[in-house]
Chains A and B, each alone.
Chain A
Amino acid sequence: MSAPTTALGLRMPKRGAARLCVRALLHALVVLVFVVPLWGLVATVFSGVQLKLGELALLPRHASLTSLRTAWDLGVGRGLLTSVVVAGVGLFLQVTVSAFAAYALARKRFRGQALVMLAVLATMMMPEEVIAIPLYLVLGKVPDPLGGGDLLDSYSGLILPVVGWALPIYVLTGFMKTIPLELEEAARVDGAGDLKIFFRIVLPLCRPALGTCAVFGFLMIWDQYLLPLLVVQSPHMRTLTLVVTSLAASSDQPEGVRMAACLVLMVPSVLVYLLLQRLFERGLLTGSLKG
């Protein structure tokens, strides 16, 4: 009863009032450091008062949507559309392709399997930051499957490089190995082929893991900055991250407009996190604890 149940034993009633005070203070500090800055951003966006460069509002006085509307017209709307298209198509391809690969890795025995696992591991050491220069040159050589020139300054160039990602392959392979074989064997006896088993049995059972992959994949694609920086040349192709930085670079915009662009960039990923928190935390732990 009086035994500590956490590392610091904060639930011990010993010297109750003093401990409670210290803890409340520390919690307030956490809120001040991690939440108040984000709140300041929101308040600034909806504040009707013109703020100088570097000024943030703590309370939105004379609430108005002017900043948001101005930012929207300055390219944020267009950027949001581009980012949503890129994230949607990219995520769909990423999860599909990873699920196919995971099925082969989890359920088949074949020559070269270890080599494939090694190749997947190797790609984790080749992030955009490390291969930026040659990737830029490669993008200039690969033809756009949607027609018209190479991958530079095209939607395909923004989407295709993010499709292959090791994390969902690992997550899905691990999950598929935990699915009991009996169902598949029964289907195989009934004459179902690999594709049918994959779509009808394995994929529906993988729904939780697919959700985790979707959350992580979305955040990964949404956060892309270097890849759009390499690909995009004309202003109308800018993703939201590029719109935000280019708006911020023009210092003649008031603080509210710049923060409005940040807010539009923030909201989708924060919503995904808040709505799918359980999926998210499970993935975080498989990702970080199991490698």
Chain B
Amino acid sequence: MAAVTRASTRTGRAGRSTAEAGRETASGTARGSGSRTRAGGPGGHRSARRPWRPAALRRAAGPWLFLAPVLAFFGVFKFWPTVWGMYLSFFEVRPYLGNRWVGLRNFTTAFHDPMLRRAVEHTLLDAVVTILASAAVGFALALLLEGPARHVRLLRTAAFLPVVTAMVAVVELWNTLMFPGHYGALNTLLGHLGIGPQQFLADPDSSLASVMGIQVWKSAPYDMVVFVAGLAGIDRRLYEAAAIDGAGAWTRLRHVTLPALRPVTTIVLTLGLIRGIRVFTEIYVLTGGGPAGSTETIVTYTYKSGIQNNNLGMAAAVSTLLFLATVVLTCLTLWWRNRREAA
């Protein structure tokens, strides 16, 4: 909890610094250009009247001039919405009527909504399962497709295509492949294997698993590339030494490869979790949270209650909690990584 408060005050301060930066650069531009014209003028007397020297001032303003554009964009489109969202979570938002302070009521309403509880469960389950599964599949792919040989490189490139394909296209493709009728592509394939037609996304019992399958299909090749790079960094002589000592493939994997890949693996997993808890596009396009709320996640829940049902205050409250969760997870990751590097 201490981490939460510290992180939020930090961002608050950062937000203020953005505003300061804007102000400082604005004045910096004016003074900077003014001093330049004066210096260019005939007999530009170095201003003894001014308490600061233009050169020194320009040097101080320089970095902020370079930073101003980015800080302005961050300020308007990142910090303002974040801070305002936190503020709104304590209000009943009524367009045209003015917002009404309701204290913590948005939070208590949200906590007592069984739909949100299910959404949180789905989100966590989805994040954990897809991250672990795509790391496992990615690792297997990396082992299989590791190496500089030409056809292996070609296969790696081909397998990577799902990663660079826009999520919306991937989702529509799989929506078609998973057509529940018996002539759907995946059901035809299953039919050849002697398995009856599945409902996939249309059945509340299998919808979340189907979504997870699609997510793994899109993210496993990404993990593969990261693992391939990790494998390439392992000293070949370790394998040779192990082989000379009589270690089989499994022993080498267990005692040489996996320990060497540990840092890469933890980063893949933690970044995946931070990304995973805000899953939206694939769920919203595939199922819209249905059937019967079986794939509702936190962000689809906030989007629906905020934009579609116009319950902006509660949506803001849930978003605030999601933001705090992201902050905590990120801080834990950073703290943990720093501790590792220090050790």
Contact residues of A with B, CB < 8 Å?
3-11, 23, 26-27, 30-31, 33-35, 37-38, 40-41, 52-56, 96-98, 100-101, 103-105, 108, 110, 112-113, 115-116, 118-127, 129-138, 142, 160-161, 163-164, 169, 194, 198, 219, 222-223, 225-226, 230, 241, 244-245, 248, 255, 258-259, 261-263, 265-266, 269-270, 272-274, 277, 280-281, 284-285, 288-289, 291
Question: From residue 224 to 280 of chain B, which have CB atoms closer than 8 A to chain A?
Answer: 225-226, 229, 231, 234, 236, 239-240, 243-244, 249, 252-253, 256-257, 264, 267-268, 271, 278-280
Count residues of chain B with CB under 8 A from any CB of chain A.
102
State whether B252 touches A126 (Cβ < 8 A).
no
Residues on B with beta carbons closer than 8 Å to the beta carbon of A259: 172-173, 176
A125-B326 in contact (CB<8A): yes
Q: Does B97 belong to the interface (CB within 8 Å)?
A: no
Q: Are A6 and B231 in contact (CB under 8 A)?
A: yes
> Which residues of B are in contact with A by a Cβ distance under 8 Å?
10-11, 13-15, 17-18, 21, 60, 62-64, 66-67, 69-71, 73-74, 76-82, 84-85, 88, 141, 143-147, 155, 157-162, 164-169, 172-177, 179-181, 183-185, 217, 221-222, 225-226, 229, 231, 234, 236, 239-240, 243-244, 249, 252-253, 256-257, 264, 267-268, 271, 278-281, 285, 299, 302-303, 306-307, 312, 315-316, 319, 322-323, 326-327, 330, 337
Tell me which of B172, B181, B307, B323 contacts A126 (CB under 8 A): B323
Contact across chains for A33 and B307 when beta carbons are under 8 A apart: no
Does the CB pair A274–B179 fall under 8 Å? no
Name the B residues within 8 Å of A23 (CB-CB). 144
The residues of B that contact A116 with a CB separation of less than 8 Å are 17, 21, 67, 71
CB-nearest residue of chain A relative to B242? A4
Could you tell me the dominant secondary structure of chain B's interface residues?
helix
B contact residues around A112 at 8 Å (CB): 17, 21
Nearest A residue to B337 via CB reads A291
Closest chain A CB from B32 CB (angstroms): 10
Distance of B79 from chain A, by nearest CB (Å): 8
Q: Which residue of B lies closest to A103 (CB)?
A: B66
Shortest C-beta distance, A269 to chain B (Å), equals 5
Nearest chain A residue, comparing its CB with the CB of B305? A133
A110 CA to B169 CA, complexed, in Å: 45
Q: Is the CB of A135 within 8 A of B77?
A: yes
Collect the chain A residues with CB atoms within 8 Å of residue B231's CB.
6-7
Q: Are B183 and A115 in contact (CB under 8 A)?
A: no
Are A38 and B157 also in contact (CB < 8 A) when A4-B239, A142-B76 are?
A: no
Note all chain B residues with C-beta closer than 8 A to A34.
Answer: 158-159, 161-162, 217, 221
Interface-central residue, B84, B145, B165, B176, by most chain A CB under 10 Å:
B176
**A7-B252, A125-B326, A133-B312 in contact; A119/B319 too (CB < 8 A)?**
no
Report which of B159, B166, B173, B280 forms a contact with A223, defined as CB distance below 8 A.
B166
Q: Are B337 and A269 in contact (CB under 8 A)?
A: no
B66–A100 CB distance below 8 A: yes
Residue of A nearest to B275 (CB): A127
Instruction: Give every chain A residue within 8 A of B17 (Cβ-Cβ).
Output: 112, 115-116, 119
> Which 7 residue pairs spanning A and B have beta carbons closest together?
A54-B179, A164-B73, A134-B85, A104-B66, A119-B14, A134-B81, A129-B278
Question: Contacts A8-B249, A30-B145, A131-B319 given: A97-B73 contact, CB under 8 Å?
Answer: yes
Residues of A within 8 A of B327 (CB): 125
**Residue in A133, A258, A274, A291 whose Cβ sees the most chain B Cβ within 10 Å:** A133
Given A5-B239, A8-B249, A118-B10, CB of A40 within 8 Å of CB of B172: no
User: For residue B76, which residue of chain A has the nearest CB?
Assistant: A142
CA A197 to CA B198, docked complex, whole Å: 63
Q: Is the CB of B173 within 8 A of A108?
A: no
Which residues in B have their C-beta under 8 angstroms from that of A40? 173, 177, 185
CB neighbours (8 Å) of B167 from chain A are 223, 225
Chain B residues near A136 (CB-CB < 8 A): 306-307
Contacts of A104 in B (CB 8 A): 62-64, 66-67
In the complex formed, the residue of A with least CB distance to B187 is A54
CB distance from A169 to the nearest CB of B (A): 7
Given contacts A126-B78, A248-B285, A269-B164, 13 further A-B contacts (CB under 8 A): A3-B239, A8-B252, A9-B249, A27-B144, A54-B184, A108-B66, A125-B326, A126-B81, A133-B85, A137-B88, A160-B77, A223-B168, A273-B160
Are B243 and A9 neighbours in the complex by a CB distance under 8 Å?
yes
Q: Which of B18, B76, B144, B181 contacts A30 (CB 8 A)?
A: B144
A118 and B14 contact, CB distance less than 8 A: yes
Question: Are B172 and A164 in contact, with the CB atoms below 8 A?
Answer: no
B43 to A: closest C-beta gap in Å:
20
- Complex CA–CA separation, A101 to B71 (angstroms): 9
Are B257 and A7 in contact, CB atoms less than 8 angstroms apart?
A: yes
**Using Cβ atoms and an 8 Å threshold, which residues of chain A touch B222?**
284
